[in-house]
Structure 1
Amino acid sequence: MAIRQVGRFNLKIWQIMLGGALAVLLTGQIAPADALRAIDIDVMLFLFGMFVVGETLVQSGFLASIAHRFFARAKNPGQVVLGILFGMGILSALLMNDTTAVIGTPLVLALAAGRHISKKLLLLALAFAITTGSVMSPIGNPQNLLVAINSGMASPFVTFALYLAIPTLACLGIAYAVLRWFYRSEFLPREFEDEPAQKPDPRLVLLAKVSLAIILLLAAVNILASLLTGSMLVTLPFIALGAALPVLVFSKRRFEILKTIDWCTLVFFAAMFVLMESVWQTGIFQSMIGSGMLSSIPALLATSVVISQFISNVPFVALFQPLVMEAGSGTAQLMALAAGSTIAGNLTILGAASNVIIIQNAEKQGVTLTFMEFLKVGLPLTVLQLIVYAGWLMVVG
């Protein structure tokens, strides 16, 4: 995954993961029945539903219309960057980081062109916003979803908010300070030009609003039920599928939306479940982990950030979470695993799939970020954010 270039062939992340899954199947390292059982249907259904909602928001023009009105109020580059960090950060907590990456890349590139701000600055702001903001929600990213579902957490929305919302908001502020330091000249005042808003599709906009309302309503029901009874009434996959249902049933563009959702990421996850189950069955990964690492919050955070650079954060959590649970670690340790594996995406481009999505979509428009350009800003940011999360989780845990 780190190299991805083999001769003339530029391999995609999902192709590499699928190749690994096929390798263990064809060589008998895992039985076909075990491979099928390893695929987490709840996660697959949730991702499918959220991708349908995200694609609807894009194709309807609803999100672009909201963004146009939102950023029209920004009077200087600093306000634009703040808007991206907190706006996209909070959005990623609701719609999942990969979905927000697809939505946000053309948006920030248009903002950069219209307001004469560095495209690289706004792409970095988007990447850091999506990664950091997604930490505070069980549906903000796939690794959080794994933690919420596989741990049997009674009230994941409440738990993630209590443990991670405040430090996450603080870390978004830190991201602004770091970006302002490295791109000082870009924050000088300048004249902004008004950009024409995208013409929306009224019928699809209505369905997009209904889908968003369903997500917010069912999430609120779960939060209330968690506070009153200690358990959720509605499962996370049901929330996503319920939100996608109006589009799939009532939209005339349903097949167009289904055709353009991120099927490659779904293939990636199915293959990842098979490959990680095969690795787990060997016992090799378990033998490499010391028991002290599973109970220490700073060690969990640091390990999550480092290892996620090599095997990506979702496969890392798929392997590591069972060990944390078997060790009898508490909720604070699970939150450290979620936070560390997620902010790993702020260190390097390879730390999160959402970074790769942003770079690939930006390159289609002739803009890119190099590995070192990302690392130069991401390294100090990640260190500062690790300190914030470690300090907070050690206090509340």
Structure 2
Amino acid sequence: MNSDTLPAHDWRSRLKHEWLLLLFAALTLVLAVVDPQPLTRYRHWLQLPTLSGLLGLLIAIQGIRDSGLIQRLAGMMVARMHSLRGVGLLLVSMTAVLSTVLTNDVSLFLVVPLTVAIGSMSNLPILRMAVLEALAVNAGSTLSPIGNPQNLLIWQYDRIPFLSFVGHMLPVAGVMFVLVALLTWVWLPRERVTLQANRLDGHAISVSLAALSITSLIMMVLMMERGHALLGALFLIVPFALFSWRSLKQIDWLLMATFTAIFLGLGHFAALPMVSHAMDGVDFSHPFTLYLSGIVSSQLISNVPATVLLLERTPDAMALAVAVNVGGFGIVIGSLANLIALRLAKQPHGMRLFHEVSIPFLLVCATLVYAVMRMA
């Protein structure tokens, strides 16, 4: 049964499993009661451009899925690959490379649905790949000033030349990607790809829907880059409402609600006077203190709010960039791209497996990156 036809009691049952949404909704309500703020502050914390960009990407990718194009591409890839490790390394590399130029969330919207389609017709473990791709997108986006929101903030704040930024982050991104590639090789089974012919999607591709969706995706990325995400999302809603209403109904609206609650809850928390006072008492001029603060704060409030919180307090913006990018690993909210990857994969027990892998990965990565940066 599709989510748009679920009866009310099934929606309530599904909502009970949305613990992240419920947690941050509760945090938002509690803070609103104990620390009331004017409406303008909530509008600022809501990060409407980010939410609008997320909605636009969800619409475009859902249209591509419904067109059958992803399934066709998945079948072509599986037919040409021989080993699961080979497929895994290809997908992880694609994710990392795309994230350097298309941002981390756009990369996941392209690669994770393709991974799900490949897994549906072969023995590729979908959940393991989704976790690996979440790690890969954090590694790849670290390299580029436009790879993720925290890098963009720091790049604009510090006004460092583009290539200088890339050169500074290259050792960090290199360590991260090597670790992801090694994990991919070790974690995926040493098996050949087994194509399950009975699961191949034999339906014809809807050329019109595929063209609309690809055009919409390109337009949305361009509108986001020019700061017009809200307008871009509104432009997409109209043609999809007219020509593919089913795609709009299939959008993961609970993911949108989760991001809304996270932005409001974490934004308010980071603005609390006690948080600001605690930050004022920390000596961020010490490299290790800054490094640890960036990682720990990312685990608590996600790496983009952590960047906003620490940027004006640190004398070394690029050192902060290293810290908050490393902090994208670990807890799922360390980088909101982690949550996007898991929701796109739609696999049971995804959060548990993610933390079983990502937390040890953070500990190893943080140690190695700090050692490399001290030697540089």
Q: Indicate whether the TM-score tops 0.5.
A: yes
Q: What is the alpha-carbon distance in structure 2 between the residues aligned to residue 102 and residue 352 of structure 1?
A: 15
Retained in 2: the 8 A contact 1:179–1:377? no
Length-normalised TM-score, structure 1: 0.70
Q: Hey, what does 2:123 align to over in structure 1? A: 116
Retained in 2: the 8 A contact 1:94–1:140? yes
SS class of match (1:289):
helix
Retained in 2: the 8 A contact 1:93–1:134? yes
Structural mapping, 1:336-375, within 5 Å: 336-342=322-328, 344=329, 347-349=330-332, 351-356=334-339, 359=342, 367-369=348-350, 371=352, 373-375=353-355
Alignment partner of 1:77 out of 59, 78, 84: 84
SS class of match (2:200):
coil
Retained in 2: the 8 A contact 1:112–1:122? no
Q: Hey, what does 2:11 align to over in structure 1? A: none
Unaligned runs of 5+ in 2: 1-14
Alignment partner of 1:378 out of 350, 353, 358: 358
Alignment partner of 1:283 out of 273, 289, 302: 273
Q: Hey, what does 1:202 align to over in structure 2? A: 207
Q: What is the alpha-carbon distance in structure 2 between the residues aligned to residue 53 and residue 111 of structure 1?
A: 20
Q: What is the alpha-carbon distance in structure 1 between the residues aligned to residue 231 and residue 39 of structure 2?
A: 31
Q: Structure 1 counterpart of 2:140, which letter?
A: G
Length-normalised TM-score, structure 2: 0.73
Q: Offset at 1:259?
A: 3.9
Q: What is the alpha-carbon distance in structure 2 between the residues aligned to residue 380 and residue 390 of structure 1?
A: 16
Q: Hey, what does 2:5 align to over in structure 1? A: none
Q: Offset at 1:179?
A: 3.4
Retained in 1: the 8 A contact 2:298–2:324? no
Q: Offset at 1:69?
A: 3.1
Q: Offset at 1:85?
A: 0.8
Retained in 1: the 8 A contact 2:139–2:176? yes
C-alpha change, 1:155 and 1:243, in structure 2 (3 Å) is farther
Q: Hey, what does 1:86 align to over in structure 2? A: 93
CA RMSD in angstroms, aligned pairs only: 4.2
C-alpha change, 1:166 and 1:33, in structure 2 (3 Å) is same
Q: Structure 1 counterpart of 2:200, which letter?
A: P
Superposed CA deviations along residues 240-263 of structure 1, whole A, max 9, x for unmatched, are 457657644544336444444444
Alignment partner of 2:23 out of 7, 16, 31: 16
Q: Offset at 1:206?
A: 1.4
Q: Hey, what does 1:56 align to over in structure 2? A: 63
Q: Offset at 1:236?
A: 4.4
Alignment: residue pair count? 359
Q: Hey, what does 1:313 align to over in structure 2? A: 302
Q: Hey, what does 2:54 align to over in structure 1? A: 47
Q: What is the alpha-carbon distance in structure 1 between the residues aligned to residue 243 and residue 375 of structure 2?
A: 50
Retained in 2: the 8 A contact 1:92–1:134? yes
Q: What is the alpha-carbon distance in structure 2 between the residues aligned to residue 51 and residue 306 of structure 1?
A: 30
Identity of aligned residues (%): 19
Retained in 2: the 8 A contact 1:88–1:100? yes
Retained in 1: the 8 A contact 2:46–2:260? yes
Q: Hey, what does 1:180 align to over in structure 2? A: 185
Q: Structure 1 counterpart of 2:315, which letter?
A: S
Q: Offset at 1:60?
A: 3.1
Q: Hey, what does 2:284 align to over in structure 1? A: 294
Q: Structure 1 counterpart of 2:72, which letter?
A: S
Q: Offset at 1:187?
A: 1.8
Structural mapping, 1:217-232, within 5 Å: 218=222
Q: Structure 2 counterpart of 1:326, which letter?
A: E
C-alpha change, 1:71 and 1:86, in structure 2 (3 Å) is farther
Q: Offset at 1:181?
A: 3.0
C-alpha change, 1:104 and 1:387, in structure 2 (3 Å) is same
Q: What is the alpha-carbon distance in structure 1 between the residues aligned to residue 351 and residue 234 of structure 2?
A: 40
Q: What is the alpha-carbon distance in structure 2 between the residues aligned to residue 360 and residue 250 of structure 1?
A: 25
Retained in 2: the 8 A contact 1:100–1:130? yes
Q: What is the alpha-carbon distance in structure 1 between the residues aligned to residue 193 and residue 244 of structure 2?
A: 43
Q: What is the alpha-carbon distance in structure 1 between the residues aligned to residue 43 and residue 322 of structure 2?
A: 30
Q: What is the alpha-carbon distance in structure 1 between the residues aligned to residue 225 and residue 312 of structure 2?
A: 24
Q: What is the alpha-carbon distance in structure 2 between the residues aligned to residue 277 and residue 323 of structure 1?
A: 10
Q: What is the alpha-carbon distance in structure 1 between the residues aligned to residue 171 and residue 212 of structure 2?
A: 32
Structural mapping, 1:136-155, within 5 Å: 136-137=143-144, 140=147, 147=153, 152=157
Q: Structure 1 counterpart of 2:293, which letter?
A: T
Superposed CA deviations along residues 221-242 of structure 1, whole A, max 9, x for unmatched, are xxxxxxxxxxxxx85433x457
Q: What is the alpha-carbon distance in structure 2 between the residues aligned to residue 348 and residue 33 of structure 1?
A: 30
Q: What is the alpha-carbon distance in structure 2 between the residues aligned to residue 322 and residue 350 of structure 1?
A: 16
Q: Hey, what does 2:10 align to over in structure 1? A: none
Unaligned runs of 5+ in 1: 1-7, 220-233
Q: What is the alpha-carbon distance in structure 1 between the residues aligned to residue 298 and residue 313 of structure 2?
A: 21
Q: What is the alpha-carbon distance in structure 2 between the residues aligned to residue 253 and residue 155 of structure 1?
A: 45
C-alpha change, 1:245 and 1:32, in structure 2 (3 Å) is closer
Q: What is the alpha-carbon distance in structure 2 between the residues aligned to residue 245 and residue 82 of structure 1?
A: 37
